[in-house]
Amino acid sequence: MEIQYVLYGDKIVEREHASIDLEDRGYNFGDGIYEVVYIYGGKPFSMEEHFKRFADSAAKLEMKLPYTLETVNDLTVKLIEANKIHNGIVYIQMTRGASPRNHLYDRDSACLITGFARKMDPPVQAQENGIKTYLTEDIRWLRCDIKTLNLLGNTMAKRKAADHGCHEALQHREGTCTEGSSSNLFIIKKGTLYTHPATNLILNGITRQHILKIANEQGIDIAEEAFSTRDLIHADEVFLSSTTMEIAPVIAVTGDEEGEFPIGPVTRLLQKKLKEKIKKPTVLK
């Protein structure tokens, strides 16, 4: 079995010994949050930033962490070590726990943390050669800033993109670009880097935050402002970012608008600098 050990509460147990209550609110309502952290050479990257966002998401949903973030960090490291992950991901989830099924939640519910770790190599081909994308209407709810388990809008967009031979879906709200189905969206126009501001309409990705810091360090002009689908199509360069992709250039868009793009110098520079940052022990949390 690929995943041998999992996190259940504050214990690392064999996967076959973990079970979820049928009335767990995560199962019944998608009432929960999660984080995915990438592991490079056995070490998680930016785990501190990921779990800060985990705590922020919990607070926004009025969920109480059953342990301190330090304990969650320690349990996550033990989970990685138990599964002997060199390169891969660790997924940590928290639900509001089990209770008789009722839409009304209890603010004092005993939340349940679970998790797993899986081997996964970086998507080198996507990073080097770029990806094709499908542009479609953003049908998600209006609290995309919370990293919640409610991902049906995202998964439906991803499915539509795959059905059209594309790696990722790009989303827009009535012509204003937001983000990918599982990524943040950037465009470059006349040397300026544009990305949607970190409002309730997008998730403020950890990789997104690293990219903005790197761009600032490199003297690249940054505009955190909304841009249209027409701006997207007329961009000089387009790329996506996420924990698992790092930076993936976009070479084509189909769907509601169509266009093709070169893999440009700004994208390549940001890719190079992000990889350098990943390799520095000081940013491995």
d(CA 252, CA 131) in angstroms, rounded, equals: 7
Q: For residue 144, with 0-12 CB atoms within 10 Å meaning exposed, 13-18 middle and 19 or more buried, which class applies?
A: buried
Catalytic (active-site) positions? 147
**At 82, which amino acid appears?**
A
Residue 280: which residues within 8 A CB-CB, separation 6 or more? Answer: none
